[in-house]
Amino acid sequence: MKTLNIIPVLIAVLIMTISGTVLANDSKYIEAMQKNIEAVYTAETIPDYQTAVNALERIGAAEKTKWEPFYYASFGYIMMSNQEKDNAKKDVYLDQAVTALNKAKAIVPNESEIIAMEGFIYMMRIPADPSARGPQYTPMAMQAFNKAIAVNPENPRALALLAQMQLGMAQFFGSSTAEACATNAKALEKFTSFQSENPLAPRWGQQMVEEVKSKCGK
């Protein structure tokens, strides 16, 4: 009798622990990610970024099926290249951004956010040597942004990056900024309307849109 009584208890305990660990694991993932995503967003120096990126890469390596850790690690590396002054080192950070992003891409091959980020990396290659790299990387970046928009027309970051690129080209050629401003306005609209079910969905890029908006004089 005693033993019989124990069995349901044991089962109950087992079920509780199993579902507990599953739930705990996912909430542990989300919690850890939220903390480190915030760390990337608020980082100010290269060591800040590297610390956050290291943590993200640890999570990514442990999880194996989640693309977000590598996506944000890639974003962190892009930000590091942006802070770095030396052109050769800028490229090293961007190479690391590519490596991280490729890991994310292997998990979700057709994610609009990842494709947009690819374009972002191409765009960041240009400042180191605009005359040689501009003609090479501009079309590659444009193509990536357009593809990201085709995959998900609601992606505000793809639109914002495209607007940035269009503005740069309009300024270079001294032509009308109307197209860039229209894309930017669309990006701004999507930033308010676009809601992802994913609690870890990217949120960055709004500031970029505000800057372009101010240049568009509206």
Partner 1 sequence: MKAFYSVLFSLILITGYSQTRISGKVTDERGAGVPLANIVLVDTYDGTTSDTEGNFEFTTTETGTKVLLIKFVGYKDFQREVVLDGKPVNITVPLEEMINELEAVMITAGAFAASDESRRTVFKALDIATTAGATADIAGALNTLPGTQKVGESGRLFVRGGDGNETKTFIDGMLVLDAYSPSAPNTPSRGRFLPFMFKGTSFSTGGYSAEYGQALSSALVLDSKDQSEMTRTDIGILSVGGDIAHTQAWERGSVIGKIQYTNIRPYFGLINQEVDWEKPPVSLEGSSAFRQQVGKDGMLKVYGNFNHTNYSLYQHSIDDYNSKFLYELTNRYRYLNGFYKEALNENWIVRGGVSYTYQQNDAIADQDNIVETEKGIHAKTVFEGSLSDKVELKTGADLVQRSYSQEYIISDGDDYTRSFDETIAAGFAEADLYTSNKFVTRAGARLEYNNLTKQFSVDPRISLAYKTGSFSQVSFAYGKFRQTAKNELVRVNNTLDPEKAEHFILNYQRIENNRTFRVETYYKRYSDLVKYENGDAAILNNAGSGYAKGIELFWRDNRSLRNTDYWISYSFLDTKREYLNYPYRSTPAFASKHNFSVVYKYFVQAINSQLGFTYSYTSGRPYNNPNADKFNNGKTPAYSDLSFNWSYLPKPYLIVYLSCTNLLGRDNIFSYEYSSQQNAEGIYNSRPVRQAAPRFLFVGIFITLSKDKSVNQLPSL
End-to-end CA distance of the chain: 79
- Please tell me the count of residues contacting partner 1 according to CB under 8 A: 39
- Six-digit token string for 87: 């052109």
**In the complex with partner 1, which residue's Cβ is closer, 28 or 203?**
28
Task: Please list every residue from 156 through 215 that binds partner 1, using CB under 8 A.
Answer: 165, 169, 172-175
Give the residue, chosen from 1, 2, 176, 193, that forms a contact with partner 1 under the rule CB under 8 A. 2
**In the complex with partner 1, which residue's Cβ is closer, 6 or 201?**
6
Evaluate whether 157 touches 116 at the Cβ level (below 8 Å). Answer: yes
- Six-digit token string for 32: 């850890």
Length, in residues, of the chain: 218
Task: Please list every residue from 100 through 159 that binds partner 1, using CB under 8 A.
Answer: 129, 131-132, 135-136, 138-140, 142-143, 146
Taking the C-alpha atoms of residue 162 and residue 196, their distance in angstroms, rounded to an integer, is: 21
By C-alpha distance, which of 154, 122, 124 is closest to 139? 122
In the complex, least distance from residue 215 CB atom to partner 1, rounded to whole angstroms: 17
CA-to-CA dists, residue 190 to 50, 75, 161, 183, angstroms: 30, 20, 13, 11
Task: Please list every residue from 25 through 84 that binds partner 1, using CB under 8 A.
Answer: 28, 32, 46-47, 50-51, 54-55, 57-59, 61-62
Contact residues for partner 1, defined by CB under 8 A: 2, 6, 10, 28, 32, 46-47, 50-51, 54-55, 57-59, 61-62, 86-88, 91-92, 96, 129, 131-132, 135-136, 138-140, 142-143, 146, 165, 169, 172-175
